[in-house]
């Protein structure tokens, strides 16, 4: 009887081993870096489970609610049975027209809603899916480093190779296009840019965009412009769209989102716009992957874009006040940082000789403060941490008081 148990144990062990071999991850998935925000969330949950009072300056998720008129539009639309069915892959025509009207009003850019705009289930999925349309195995995408992780992840999942463009302080956290070697330019199919920038909060001026567009034309490279933070600006600064510049429509696609502008991160609605061939290619990818945005959410998106816009000015005032409290406090502690004029992030140098993960861990352990280590956005983010202005001024002051004692 004992022998029988042993044989059964060996049999189950062999089966388990076989199952493990069968479920070996693909090389593409193995090549993906760990998604840092998942690790941060795990650490937060563990700390809170221990009863600790955590001040979360980590993930950039607005703490203010979605404006009421947008919520009401969703509620009313959700009551309508016609909105419970599959949505159109290319989005409701009325949503595309609303996006076109918003772009015209905001950037003085005219877009054809039928061919130059594609609604997305949040801009993140569009950014991640776009490389599938143009990258073949071994092709390069030119990726800023540090950067929003889907730029690299989408490239790897498409079989491409990220070629890193360092974003360093002495170059105002802009990629130095002149330093990209000819060998890399020949293999490159797309280039990612993101201004106002996550995580560095840097901004780009018209000279950079003109240089970028010229670079794209000369090297036959597609520009992917991520403009998710265009409305979060301070001190009189106004972000620009790449589509405002001559020559951009031939080479560029721009991604936008309602997430940060209207406090709609969980709603998952954004869009891509620009060159119609690029839009059509992304639409073909998406038609094989998803079935569009829930129609009620699309109607709420229309309410956001075409309804009252006073919320945006209030939002910018709120974040600017928080920024000023944090900047003043960190400066008084001797921390090194630049004052951001856009986004709701502050990019901060860690003390000399410290690495960003260990320093972030120390802040959580000693001060119950969550920040994001810069290296999580890429190797050139090492030496920095990112703080988000997504808690009220009282909590920021409490965080500053705690920092005095570490």
pLDDT, position 353: 81
CATH class assigned to 29-65+310-403: alpha beta
pLDDT, position 276: 98
Question: Residues 342, 234: contact at Cβ < 8 Å?
Answer: yes
pLDDT tens for each residue of 148-194: 999 999 999 999 999 999 999 999 999 999 999 999 999 999 999 99
Q: What stretches of 227-344 adopt beta strand conformation (E)?
A: 252-257, 270-274
pLDDT tens for each residue of 188-232: 999 999 999 999 999 999 999 999 999 999 999 999 999 999 999
pLDDT, position 16: 53
Find the mean pLDDT for residues 256-274. Answer: 97
Question: Residues 217, 250: contact at Cβ < 8 Å?
Answer: yes
What residue segments make up the domains of the chain, in order of their start? 29-65+310-403, 68-306
Sheet holding 384-388, edge to edge: 345-349, 384-388, 372-373
Q: Taking all residues of the chain, what is their mean pLDDT, rounded to a whole number?
A: 92
pLDDT, position 12: 53
Identify the H or E element spanning 56: strand 55-56
pLDDT tens for each residue of 79-107: 999 999 999 888 999 999 999 999 999 99
**What percentage of the chain carries pLDDT values higher than 70?**
94
Q: Which two tokens stand for residue 13?
A: 């062990």
pLDDT, position 10: 46
Closest CA to 365 of 145, 54, 96, 14: 54
Cβ burial 196-228 (10 Å sphere, 16+ → b, else e): bbbbbbbbbeeebbeebbebbeebebbbbbbbb
Q: Which two tokens stand for residue 19?
A: 């199952």
Q: Would you place residue 4 in the very low, low, confident or very high pLDDT band (cuts 50, 70, 90)?
A: very low
Indicate if the pLDDT at residue 308 is higher than 60.
yes
Could you confirm whether domain 68-306 is CATH 3.40.640.10?
yes
Q: Would you place residue 11 in the very low, low, confident or very high pLDDT band (cuts 50, 70, 90)?
A: very low
pLDDT, position 287: 94
**What percentage of the chain carries pLDDT values higher than 90?**
83
């Amino acid at each position: 009887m004992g022998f029988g148990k042993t044989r059964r144990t060996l049999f189950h062990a062999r089966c388990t081993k076989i199952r493990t071999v069968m479920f070996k991850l693909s090389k593409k998935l193995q090549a993906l870096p760990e998604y840092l925000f998942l690790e941060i969330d795990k650490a937060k949950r563990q700390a809170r489970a221990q009863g600790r009072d955590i001040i979360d300056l980590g993930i950039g998720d607005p703490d203010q609610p979605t404006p009421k008129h947008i919520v009401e539009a969703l509620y009313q639309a959700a009551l309508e049975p016609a909105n419970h069915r599959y949505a159109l892959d290319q989005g409701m025509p009325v949503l595309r027209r609303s996006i076109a009207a918003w772009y015209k009003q905001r950037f003085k850019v005219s877009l054809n809603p039928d061919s130059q705009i594609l609604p997305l289930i949040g801009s993140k999925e569009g950014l991640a899916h776009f490389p599938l349309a143009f990258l073949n195995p071994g092709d390069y995408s030119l990726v800023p480093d540090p950067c929003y992780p889907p730029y690299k992840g989408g490239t790897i999942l498409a079989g491409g190779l990220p070629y890193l463009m360092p974003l360093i302080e002495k170059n105002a956290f802009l990629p130095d296009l002149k330093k990209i070697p000819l060998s890399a330019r020949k293999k490159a199919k797309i280039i990612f840019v993101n201004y106002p920038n996550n995580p560095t909060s840097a901004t780009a001026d018209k000279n950079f965009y003109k240089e970028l567009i010229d670079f794209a034309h000369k090297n036959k490279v597609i520009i992917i412009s991520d403009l998710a933070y265009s409305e979060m600006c301070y001190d009189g600064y106004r972000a620009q769209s790449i589509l405002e510049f001559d020559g951009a429509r031939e080479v560029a696609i721009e991604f936008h989102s309602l997430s940060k502008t209207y406090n709609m991160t969980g709603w998952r609605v954004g869009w891509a716009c620009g060159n119609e061939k690029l839009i059509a290619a992304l639409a073909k990818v998406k038609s094989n992957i998803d079935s569009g945005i829930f129609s009620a959410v699309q109607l709420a998106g229309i309410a956001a874009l075409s309804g009252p816009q006073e919320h945006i000015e209030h939002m910018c005032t709120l974040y600017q006040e928080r920024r000023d409290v944090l900047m003043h406090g960190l400066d008084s502690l001797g921390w090194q940082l630049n004052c951001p004029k856009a986004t709701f992030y502050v990019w901060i140098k860690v003390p000399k000789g410290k690495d960003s993960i260990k320093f972030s861990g120390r802040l959580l352990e000693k001060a119950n403060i969550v920040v994001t280590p810069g290296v999580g956005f890429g190797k050139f983010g090492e030496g920095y941490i990112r703080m988000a202005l997504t808690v009220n001024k009282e909590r920021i002051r409490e965080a500053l008081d705690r920092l005095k004692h570490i």
